[in-house]
Structure 1
Amino acid sequence: MTAHFDAGLYRWVTHLAQQTPVPLDDAVRFFSDYGLGLFAVLMLLAWWRARPGDAARMATALAAPLVVLLVFLVNDAVKSLFDEQRPCQTIHVATVEPCPGLGDWSFPSNHTAIATACAVALLVANRRLGLVAVPVAVLMAASRVWIGVHYPHDVLAALVVGAAVAWPAALAARRAAPAVERMRGTRLLGPALGRDPAGAPAGGTAGGTAGGAPPLR
C-alpha cells in the first residue's frame, strides 16, 4: 500500500520521538497504552457527582459507558471498511511502540475514538470533568502518532467519528430521566442513583420535602 499524504509528518514525528530521552518516550507509550483508564475514573466521578443532581444529569452519567461502546462499534466498522495497514508496516522507520501485525488496521484510531467519546460524554454529563477530559483525549490522539502506530489522519478521523457519534447519543440519554427518577425511588437502586437517606430522590420532588439539602454543583 502506498504512503499517504501525511507520511512526511508521520516521519517527522517518529524521528523526533527517537531523539527524545527514553524516559519521556516510555511515559508517552505507557499513557498511550493505558491512559484510557483515566477516563474510566472520570466517568465514575461523573456518576458520583450526579447523585445529588437531577435525574437528567444522572441519566447522562450512567449512559457514558454505553456512548463509548457505541462509538467503538461504529469506529471499528469504519476501520473494517478501509483495511488500512499501520504506517509502520508501510513506512520503514523506528518507532517507540513495536509495530502491530499485518491486518491490525489503522484507520481510524480506536484509542482516539474511545477517548473522544469519553470526553464528549463527560462534557454532557459534567462540564467541569469534561473540560478535564478534552485535553486528555487530544493528548491520547497525539500519543498514537508519537509512538508510531497511527498516521495523523487516522487520529483526526477518529476525533471526528468520536465527536459526531457521541454528542447526539449523550444528549439523547437525557430522555431516560423519567426512568432514572423512578429507579431512584426504589430501595435497591435509590442509594446508587442519589436517593437521600429519608427515601426521596436527590433534588427531589417525588415524595421529597422542601427542606431537603440543595444539590451540589
Structure 2
Amino acid sequence: MNYQLFQDINNLAGHHSFLDRLMVFTSSKAFIIYALALLLMWVFGKEKIKYTVVFAVITTAIGLIINFILGHIYNEPRPFVTHKVHLLIKHAADASFPSDHSTFAFSIALAVLFRNRIIGFWMLLFAILVGISRVYVGNHYPFDVVGSFVVSVLASLFVYKFSSIFEPICRLIIAIYNKIPFVPKNDRSFSK
C-alpha cells in the first residue's frame, strides 16, 4: 500500500510543469520559508509570540533528534534506491524513514498551532504540502511523511505539556535579545 500510494503521487511528476515547479519549490525551500516565518514572528511579535517561536525551535530540535534515532533503528531505503521513480530533486541515499523535511515543517506548525491557532493553521497547511511534495519529488514514501507527523505530534505534545520546564530557556533567550540595542522590541511583559 505504501508503494502504491507513492506511485499514485509520484507518477504525477513530469506531466504538469506548474505542479512540478510548485512541488520542487515547496520541497526545497520549506526550511527557508519556515525560518523566515519564525524570524518575522520574533521580530514583529509581542513577547508571547517570542515564547511561541522558542517553543517551536525546541519542538523541532526534539523531533529531529527522534528522527535521527529512528533512522538508525529502521533504515528504510529511499524510493529512488529500490524503484524507478520520477526523481525531481536529487538526494543522498540515506534512510527514508522518517522525513526530516516533514518533521521540521510539522513540528514548527504544530508547536505554533498549540499557542496561536491562526498562524499555526496556515503553517500546518503548508506542512501538509511539504509532506506531499517530498513524495511527489521522489524522495520519500507516504508512510515516511506519516511517521514524521507522528514524531512531530509527540514532540509538540511533550513540549506543550512540559512547557514550564522550557520557560526558563525562553525567558533567558528573550532577555538576552531585549538587551541588544537597536533591535525591535514589543511588549516586554509576559503574563499567562
TM-score, normalising length: structure 1: 0.74
RMSD over equivalenced CA pairs, Å: 3.0
Q: Which residue of 2 aligns with 1:43?
A: 38
The one-letter amino acid paired with 2:110 is V
Deviation at 1:190, TM superposition (A): 9.7
The CA deviation string for residues 64-123 of structure 1, in whole angstroms up to 9 with x for no partner, is 21221111111121111111100111111332223x343x11011111011110101211
The one-letter amino acid paired with 2:156 is A
- Equivalent of 2:112 in 122, 127, 130: 122
- Equivalent of 2:63 in 67, 71, 74: 71
1:84 maps onto 2:76 in alignment: yes
Cα distance change, pair 109–176 in 1 and its aligned pair in 2 (3 A):
closer
The one-letter amino acid paired with 1:17 is A
The one-letter amino acid paired with 1:202 is S
Q: In terms of Rg, which structure is larger? A: 1
State the identity as a percent: 25
Q: Give me the whole-angstrom Cα distance separating, in 1, the residues matched to 2:166 and 2:4.
A: 47
Q: Which residue of 2 aligns with 1:30?
A: 25
The alignment partner of 1:71 has SS state of helix
TM-score, normalising length: structure 2: 0.82
Cα distance change, pair 95–178 in 1 and its aligned pair in 2 (3 A):
closer
Q: Give me the whole-angstrom Cα distance separating, in 2, the residues matched to 1:185 and 1:109.
A: 33
Q: Give me the whole-angstrom Cα distance separating, in 1, the residues matched to 2:161 and 2:103.
A: 18
- Equivalent of 2:13 in 17, 32, 37: 17
- Contact kept, 8 Å, 1:59 with 1:176, in 2: the verdict is no
Q: Which residue of 2 aligns with 1:210?
A: none
The one-letter amino acid paired with 1:10 is F
- Contact kept, 8 Å, 2:26 with 2:129, in 1: the verdict is no
Higher relative contact order (CA 8 A, sep 6+): 2
| Count of aligned pairs between the two proteins | 190
- Contact kept, 8 Å, 1:59 with 1:173, in 2: the verdict is no
Give the structure with the larger helix fraction.
Answer: 2
Unaligned stretches of 5+ residues in structure 1: 205-217
